[in-house]
Structure 1
C-alpha cells in the first residue's frame, strides 16, 4: 500500500487535518508535512486509535494540535 493511501485528510482553515490512519499492521508511519499543497496542521481525535502493530509515528513540525485520544489503544507504540 503506498504511504499516501495510509491517511485520510480533511481541509480546514490554514491547512489539512489528518482524520484517519488506515495502516493496520504497518509498523512505522510518517505523517506528511504537505498534502495537496497545504500543510498538515492537526491530527484529529482518535485518528490512530486502536491500530495494531504500529510501533513508531513521525509527525511533521507543521502539526499545531492533537485531538483527544489520538493514539488510544495503540499498545505497540514505542515512539
Structure 2
C-alpha cells in the first residue's frame, strides 16, 4: 500500500476502516514527532482530516447497517439482538 499523500484522496476511498485508522495513526505520529517540515506538515494534516472523515463515514455506515438489522420490515425497531444469536 502506498502511504504517500494523494492530493485527490482517491487512495483513501479504497481503504478499509482498519487501514484508514492505521494510516491516520501514522500521520498523527509523524506530526507529533516534530521532525516534519512545515509544508509537509500541512499536507499531512490535510490527509489526516480526509482519513478521519473516511473513518467516520465507515462507522456511520456500520451503525446504519446495524440499525437496519434490528428494525422490522416496517422500519419500527424490534429491539436489540445479540450478534451471536442464531
TM-score by length of 2: 0.25
**If each structure's helix is expressed as a fraction of its own residues, which one has the higher value?**
2
TM-score by length of 1: 0.26
